Structure 1
Amino acid sequence: MKGKSLRKRNLVAAAVLTATSILLSGIVAAPAVAADSDKLIVWADDERGKQLKPVLDGKLYGGKTLEVVTFSSKTTLDAALQAATASNGPDIAFTPVGEAIIAAKSGKALPFVLSAASAANLPVAAVQYGQYKGRQYGLPLDIDSVAMIWNTKFGAAPKSLAEFATRFAKAKADGKANYGACTSDGGWNSVNFISALGGYSLGMNANGTPNVKDVGINNPTFISNLKKYALAANGKSNGLLKVDYWETCSVDWLAGKAMAIVTGSWRIPATDAAKIKYTIQPFPTLDGTGSVKAVAGWGGAYITSYAKANGKESAAKAFMNFMASPAGSTLYAATVQRPSPNSKVAANQSKLLKGFAQSMAKTSVPFYATLYNNNAGGAAWGPLMDDAWTKVLVQGQDPKTVFDKAAVVLKKNFAAGAKG
């Protein structure tokens, strides 16, 4: 798989999705669905689903037996939710909270009541992130944030990107490192790199609201620094920055041949298993002053409209009430091992998870799902960045041309998303 472009892999994935109905944990099978009247069906991706299934399966909520259906990836989960109906969809979906709002706007999500006691343990921003027209749709359960995980065999983490570039060049020349830092989750979290090089994805107004007309992925500073620090003489990547997925990034990272990855706490178990010693911190800015910006949000759950259509709305709400409670939030946090937005739970989490939360506090800008997930211009944020970075870093296309075109697409997406 190493060396295959992101675009090619995306096309292969699309072909697989077309050829098979749904991929579950690597096998083709018919999933349990909301139409199963005696079960409360929960759909989740490969990470959360695999973790939650052992602790939630078989539990009773509102008289219904819960069953977690685990999809082989977030991509297959998204495709299944997009195609779902009352006859083949879930009652509950574990997704980024922003996606609950998209579902609510299209009539595919149900509101629920978040008690005052439960809301008091969550940041106001997290609660509001899950609201649409004043009603609660998404329940925030984890902080969906990323940070730089630095392999300390290369010394202390660099204070600036300029220092990083110099140290990587030497490590590469000495045969000790094949790349500097990899996103490991694709273009979705490449805002770290864009910000470090002087760009940004979405401008903000003085009152803190997004300025959908202000896109900075192609500004002159970013393009100039990208050429100076990340590209070799042939116009392709010099290895400092890699925008790819875990399947590729992990090969060098777990072998100790990469200096850093930019990802979330979900990659810590594999990193620990490889006996890599590391520190967690924000990705460095170009000159070491200030902080980079990185999109962040909250992961959680929402009730689908199919629960109501199949007579299981009360059972679904009973489950959501449990997950919002101290007991449910604690169980979830201990199971998925991600930073919790719940103040009572977070206080007792590990130093490692607190490190991710602290990094997010310094660097995060909201991941406005209605904007970033909009594809009115032809491709949403994640696939758009996958394509742009592949064209520049892998194929050696002119970065200004590539990111100018991507900026046009992004402006169309943001404008359409702002209209709702």
Structure 2
Amino acid sequence: MKAMSGRLARTLAVATAAILVLLTGGAVSLAADPLVVWCEPQKQATVQAAAAEWSKKSGIPVQVEAISVLETANKVQLAGPVGKGPDVFCCLSGQLGMLVTTGTAAPIDASLLDLSQFMKVSLEGATQDGKLYGVPYDISSVGLIYNKKIWPQPPATMDEVIAKSRELKAKGQFGLLWPLENFYFTYAIMAGYGGYVFAPTADGWNPEDIGLANEGSVKALKLVKTLRDEGLIPVGTDHVVAPGMLNEGKAAAIIDGSWTLASVQQAGIDYGVAPIPKLDNGKYPAPFVSLKWWHVSSYSKRKAEATQLIAALTTKDAMYKSFKNAEGIPPRIDVLDMPDVKSKPEVAGYGAQANYGSLLPDIPEMNVVWVPMNNAIEIALRGDRTVQEALADAVNIIKQSIAELK
């Protein structure tokens, strides 16, 4: 028998591969090269497992590579143009504006996804100019961490917190602590009263419309000043002192993130996590929320398949497994409602708080906000300027700095 020609051999090889895929219950795909995914190192095993399941059904191989979420944005911009980058990659919410502006992230075809169970805020943050650029897989914010020995149930209102704080002060204890001078924390109160950094628009943010000295922001800072003036939150309360007081049993509650829980657990505190109590306007404080998203690279030649893979990585089952592996809080409502998920205090509390959260503007102008606002809060609390004057001064400085960016 003569040796088969090269063309015939290749044809038989493709046919044999297709038959093997069908026998294993998969679909036939002519894609020879794998889809490449860049994910966080701690998620690699979970992503590989979910991708393998998807590969069985689609017949499309997937190659999962571990890249730090802090490095992916820059690396995609370097590797993508020369054909070395991923089809799917993850990034932090604060990087989205840059990814869209530089054309690094491609718009995602939402018709290929079921987005009905995702938190509204998690999708709004990934949408620019009416187009979806990311699918969320993790959400975080600060919330109320409280000592159940002092508060068996979390306080419902800020008025209740203040009353309890005054009662505990007489005993040498504190009701609620947080770093007042830190704008990242105190913004939650400002946003709850209607303050905002930049006004949202259909295209993103309007840096010329700043709401940090409006009526709501002024009211919020006056409340914060009352807490300081009455000694309910003393001078020197920072992100180290506040959790330390909680761990020593000297504070009933603090406002902080999930990163603090390890020390609370080590201290043996019977704790709970809940949304920051409602203000006297009936609104919840709205702290900044941080998100992580899956993106489709604009350099990918297989964007539809990449989107289908993202859909598989963000199903209820996939995100539940991610949660069980301690990979963060999933922004899917149906996962957060699962009995063994919502029984975890950090999930019940931080998940609920994130639903009331504020998106962190991911535009360059945000960089010039932090220092003036930290200073304004400190100046107002010291009484060097009135609340209105301190905030107005900060907004003027921010506007001047933005003008210098242009």
TM interval, short-chain normalised: 0.5 to 0.7
Contact 1:122 1:343 (C-alpha < 8 Å) held by counterparts: yes
**Within the alignment, does 1:333 sit opposite 2:323 as a pair?**
yes
Residue in structure 2 matching 1:347, options 337, 360, 369: 337
**Within the alignment, does 1:373 sit opposite 2:395 as a pair?**
no
Q: Which amino acid aligns with 1:239?
A: I
1:91-170 counterparts in 2 under 5 A?
A: 91=86, 94-97=90-93, 99-116=95-112, 118-123=114-119, 126-156=122-152, 157-169=154-166
TM-score of the aligned structures, taking structure 2 as reference length: 0.65
Residue in structure 1 matching 2:396, options 408, 411, 418: 408
Change (3 A) 1:320 1:251: same
Change (3 A) 1:161 1:54: same
Contact 2:146 2:273 (C-alpha < 8 Å) held by counterparts: yes
Change (3 A) 1:56 1:366: same
Q: Show the counterpart of 1:277.
A: 270
**Within the alignment, does 1:42 sit opposite 2:38 as a pair?**
yes
Contact 1:199 1:216 (C-alpha < 8 Å) held by counterparts: no
Q: Show the counterpart of 1:26.
A: none
Q: Gaps (5+ residues) in structure 2?
A: 1-32
Q: Show the counterpart of 1:263.
A: 256
User: How far apart are residue 139 of structure 1 and its match?
Assistant: 0.5
Change (3 A) 1:222 1:118: closer
Q: Which amino acid aligns with 2:332?
A: N
Q: Which has the larger radius of gyration?
A: 2
User: How many residues are matched?
Assistant: 352
Change (3 A) 1:249 1:41: farther
Deviation string, structure 1 residues 20-58 (Cα, Å, up to 9, x no partner): xxxxxxxxxxxxxxxxx99956365xxxx54x2554479
Q: Gaps (5+ residues) in structure 1?
A: 1-36, 72-76
Change (3 A) 1:244 1:301: farther
Residue in structure 2 matching 1:239, options 216, 233, 236: 233
Residue in structure 1 matching 2:286, options 283, 291, 294: 294
Distance 1:117 1:109 in 2: 17
User: How far apart are residue 138 of structure 1 and its match?
Assistant: 0.9
User: How far apart are residue 325 of structure 1 and its match?
Assistant: 2.9
TM-score of the aligned structures, taking structure 1 as reference length: 0.63
Q: Which amino acid aligns with 2:395?
A: A
The percentage of aligned residue pairs carrying the same residue is 16
Residue in structure 2 matching 1:303, options 287, 295, 298: 295
Contact 1:168 1:240 (C-alpha < 8 Å) held by counterparts: no
Contact 1:131 1:137 (C-alpha < 8 Å) held by counterparts: yes
Q: Which amino acid aligns with 2:107?
A: P
Residue in structure 2 matching 1:230, options 209, 228, 231: 228
User: How far apart are residue 318 of structure 1 and its match?
Assistant: 6.1
Deviation string, structure 1 residues 283-305 (Cα, Å, up to 9, x no partner): 23555x61233045562323374
Distance 2:146 2:242 in 1: 14
